[in-house]
Amino acid sequence: MCGIFACHCHPNVQKFKPAALKLGKLVRHRGPDWSGNWVANNTILVHERLSIVGLDSGAQPIVSDDEKLSLAVNGEIYNHRILRKQSTIKYNYKTLSDCEVIIPLYMEFDVDAPKHLDGMFSWVLHDKVQDRVVAARDPIGITTFYMGKSSETPGAVYFASEMKCLATVCDNIISFPPGHVYDSKTDKLTQYYTPQWLIEPSTIPTTPVDYKLLRLTLERSVRKRLMAEVPFGVLLSGGLDSSLVASIAQREILRLNQETAAKKAKGSNGVADDHGPDHLVGIDDENHLSTVQMLPELNSFSIGLPGAPDSKAAEAAAKFLGTKHHTLNFTIEEGLDSLSDVIYHLESFDVTTIRASTPMFLLSRKIKAYGVKMVLSGEGSDEIFGGYLYFAGAPNKNDFHEECVRRVKNLHLADCLRANKSTSAWGVEARVPFLDKKFLDVAMNIDPAEKMITKDRIEKYILRKAFDTTDEPETAPYLPESILWRQKEQFSDGVGYGWIDALKDNAEIHVSDEDMKNPKPEWGDDIPDTKEAYWYRCMYDEHFPPHTASTVMRWTPKWSKSTDPSGRAIAGHEQKYDTA
């Protein structure tokens, strides 16, 4: 990940520049490798860089030769090589960065440029001639992005990777909607990502499940996310989703290394590329990873309290796959001590997000200490396939599908936000293969009757079945049966059941019954309904002013009597709470 701060149409941009640089510095944790800025007309772009691709020449903001176009990007463009080859625009590339392709794409397609991108991204582009800013966010909102305005600088518009950059200069802040593009010429946001399943959730898909297509599409999604020039790894919780991602990545690395070794043995230089040296990793026209590097041994990482269910399962999965595994044990005290920092980085007071983010935040720090800058993660699967245990309460397939769509639409305020900000806090980038556009097209168009949890079908049955090779003796198993068919554990439960219990106990210490009866007036109608939620909201208020709270979404399960978001609060959980 990288960090962006930008302001367009500021009344005195040169006077504002020192403040803009300080605001950009607030997201330097996202991009600790280099800082840059660019001023043109009354617009300033500030960029804090985490270098993953184009290490030697990818500094930002990227500026065209004629200095008419400037660009600041956070994210990765997986199809950048294909776009470079297909472009009809004469453009002199100055870097090997995957992001620079956005400039000629804008020159060719104007505000339709983001439609052509395959990746996770948020970016701000300034056109000096038109004195125009175009900004866009990836279809699902994997990268965090905010937009703001200020009554003190009417006409100006601000953008940032994290809300904290805008909190002191904007009195109107929104989470930039995923799949949208902003054009300062019209001062409007327009949705460019418009698949039918997303914009017409009441239209229920009828396509039968194709297990081979489901498997192939996810494999391709993981493959393209191996695009990197730095050490990378995988977050391995021991649950189905992260274990599948790890399995596919490991198989791909072993296959690519075998092919590379064979080419070297024959004296071949591998696959050449027209736009850079052979060592630059990218995706070719056949959707294959193009590289002559020997990819490094795959590191896998898990975290939990001593004896946590996830840690045990992760170690079993890692042993089966042959990854270089690292298990981090944390103590409840360490988790509690980090809560304020976690909330500062998350910019949220949502109970589910904080519970799950704290272990991920601690693990990301350890990952960075190992020298790993990019990790693959399993976010998105539970939303796509209705994998949360509360989905068992869905009354019919129509409601099941509409809830899946709602959860995917809100990922940018929930699990994507958690994954992005927990890892970016330590300069680590998280990539999420389940949220690939092509995989979404396949998975979200499957008849939801195939996804429903029944007496005969465990949650995410069709995903498990797609990777079950029991009837394919020629295909090596992807995972041991104990992992492939393991019941869903939400991350905050899987790190150790004592974690959530400790949070609730400490909330009782910090929040009194009297406090609960007297919420702060500035909270308005958004009143915490538990002491834990009240405690988190108070910590949030220590960092951020009240007007920023509108950017936060609080998560509660549907079709459940319990308002507690923990999987253990659902009756079907094997270790459910004792409510007697």
Element (H, E) at 427: none
Q: What confidence tens digit (pLDDT) does each residue in 428-462 have?
A: 999 999 999 999 999 999 999 999 999 999 999 99
Query: What number is the average pLDDT over the span 543-552?
Result: 97
Which of 22-31, 175-184, 255-264, 408-417 shows the lowest per-residue confidence on average (mean pLDDT)? 255-264
Binding site for ATP, by residue number, is 235, 303, 377-378
Give me the amino acid identity at 224.
Answer: K
CB 279 within 8 A of CB 227: no
Nearest to 221 by CA among 377, 101, 412: 377
Q: What confidence tens digit (pLDDT) does each residue in 337-393 have?
A: 999 999 999 999 999 999 999 999 999 999 999 999 999 999 999 999 999 989 999
Q: What confidence tens digit (pLDDT) does each residue in 134-186 have?
A: 999 999 999 999 999 999 999 999 999 999 999 999 999 999 999 999 999 99
How far is the C-alpha of 568 from the C-alpha of 576, rounded, in Å? 4
- Identify any residues that bridge with 271 across adjacent strands, giving them in sequence order: none
Q: For residue 567, what pLDDT is reported? A: 53
Query: In whole numbers, what is the pLDDT of the chain averaged over residues?
Result: 91
* Homologous superfamily assigned to 211-332+355-499: HUPs (3.40.50.620)
Confidence band, pLDDT 50/70/90 cuts, at residue 308: confident
Give me the amino acid identity at 292.
Answer: V
* Homologous superfamily assigned to 3-194: Aminohydrolase, N-terminal nucleophile (Ntn) domain (3.60.20.10)
Q: What confidence tens digit (pLDDT) does each residue in 18-54 have?
A: 999 999 999 999 999 999 999 999 999 999 988 877 6
Q: For residue 579, what pLDDT is reported? A: 38
Q: For residue 300, what pLDDT is reported? A: 97
Helix, strand, coil distribution of the chain in percent, nearest 5:
40, 15, 45
How far is the C-alpha of 7 from the C-alpha of 41, rounded, in Å? 11
Q: What confidence tens digit (pLDDT) does each residue in 43-90 have?
A: 999 999 888 776 666 689 999 999 999 999 999 999 999 999 999 999
- Percentage of residues in the chain having pLDDT higher than 70: 90
How many C-beta atoms lie closer than 10 Å to residue 228's C-beta? Answer: 19
CB 271 within 8 A of CB 284: yes
Q: What confidence tens digit (pLDDT) does each residue in 94-104 have?
A: 988 899 999 99
The torsion angle over the Cα atoms of residues 445, 448, 451 and 452, rounded to 10 degrees, is 170
Residues 565-577 as b or e (16 or more Cβ within 10 Å = b): bbbbbbebbeeeb
Query: What number is the average pLDDT over the span 120-144?
Result: 98
Q: For residue 272, what pLDDT is reported? A: 39
The domain limits of the chain are 3-194, 211-332+355-499
Binding site, by residue number, is 98, 235, 303, 377-378
- In three-state secondary structure terms, 265 is helix
How far is the C-alpha of 580 from the C-alpha of 561, rounded, in Å? 15
Given a cut of 70, is residue 5 above it in pLDDT?
yes
404 is catalytic: no
Give me the amino acid identity at 217.
Answer: T
Given a cut of 70, is residue 301 above it in pLDDT?
yes
* Direct distance between the N- and C-terminal alpha carbons of the chain, in angstroms, rounded to an integer: 46
Query: What number is the average pLDDT over the span 210-233?
Result: 94
Q: For residue 577, what pLDDT is reported? A: 46
Given a cut of 50, is residue 476 above it in pLDDT?
yes
Given a cut of 90, is residue 334 above it in pLDDT?
yes
Query: What number is the average pLDDT over the span 538-563?
Result: 90
Residue from 2, 9, 165, 404 carrying the catalytic annotation:
2
Give the DSSP letter string of 512-529: -HHHHHS--GGGTT---S
pTM for the predicted model, two decimal places: 0.93
What is the layout of strands, in order, in the sheet containing 43-49?
A: 34-40, 43-49, 3-8, 157-160, 146-149, 172-175
The residues near 222 (Cβ < 8 Å, ≥ 6 apart) are: 245, 248, 249, 252, 376, 433
Which of 62-66, 170-174, 262-266, 423-427 shows the lowest per-residue confidence on average (mean pLDDT)? 262-266
Q: For residue 571, what pLDDT is reported? A: 59
- Identify any residues that bridge with 4 across adjacent strands, giving them in sequence order: 47
Given a cut of 70, is residue 537 above it in pLDDT?
yes
